[in-house]
């Protein structure tokens, strides 16, 4: 019995530390294998079932994780990460939260689904993204 009373706190400590390591803050954005496959450059994001599209210069694919929260300082938790798919939940104090799933088909084509709350309003969007070329002069990731 004495051994089990010593093991429980040790296991709890390991689980706690593992959880803290997985929930990275804004200064240390998580590395995701799926994002490594996405090429830098100009991308067109077409909303699935929607009339419009948006153009985005991607220098760092991590900007895709929180499209609805822009440059807000958010903490991120990696739910899943494989070579061609990533799921990330993020929380932005005072701005809301979201969950983004990125599925990479090729370095020039991926699907992005994101849902959550931004400034008190719900959002739920799906995009198909295609690389259209290099970013224009003076553009940066947005």
Give 90's strand partners.
76, 98
- Asked if residues 118 and 133 have their Cβ atoms less than 8 Å apart, the reply is no
Looking at 8-17, 21-30, 66-75, 81-90, which range is the least confident one?
8-17
Looking at 44-48, 87-91, 97-101, 136-140, which range is the least confident one?
136-140
| Residue 111 in domain | yes
| Residue 42 in domain | yes
| Residue 139 in domain | no
Average pLDDT on 52-78 reads 91
Looking at 6-20, 50-64, 91-105, 121-135, which range is the least confident one?
6-20
The token pair that represents 14 in the structure block: 């390991």
| Residue 50 in domain | yes
| Total number of domains constituting the chain | 1
Average pLDDT on 119-139 reads 90
| Residue 114 in domain | yes
| Residue 18 in domain | no
Domain span holding position 121: 25-133
Average pLDDT on 64-81 reads 91
| Residue 11 in domain | no
- By CB atoms closer than 10 A (0-12, 13-18, 19+), residue 2 is exposed
| Residue 29 in domain | yes
């Amino acid at each position: 019995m004495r051994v089990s009373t010593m093991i429980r706190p040790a296991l709890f400590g390991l689980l706690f530390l593992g959880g803290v390591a997985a929930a990275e803050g804004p200064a240390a954005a998580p590395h995701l294998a799926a994002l490594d496959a996405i090429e830098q450059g100009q991308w067109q994001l077409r909303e699935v079932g929607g009339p419009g599209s948006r153009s985005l210069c991607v220098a760092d694919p991590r900007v895709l994780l929180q499209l609805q929260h822009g440059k807000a300082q958010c903490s991120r938790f990696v739910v899943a990460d494989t070579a061609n798919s990533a799921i990330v939940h993020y929380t932005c104090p005072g701005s809301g939260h979201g969950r983004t799933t990125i599925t990479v088909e090729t370095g020039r084509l991926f699907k992005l689904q994101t849902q959550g709350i931004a400034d008190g309003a719900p959002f739920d969007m799906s995009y198909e993204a295609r690389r259209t070329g290099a970013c224009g002069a003076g553009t940066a990731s947005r």
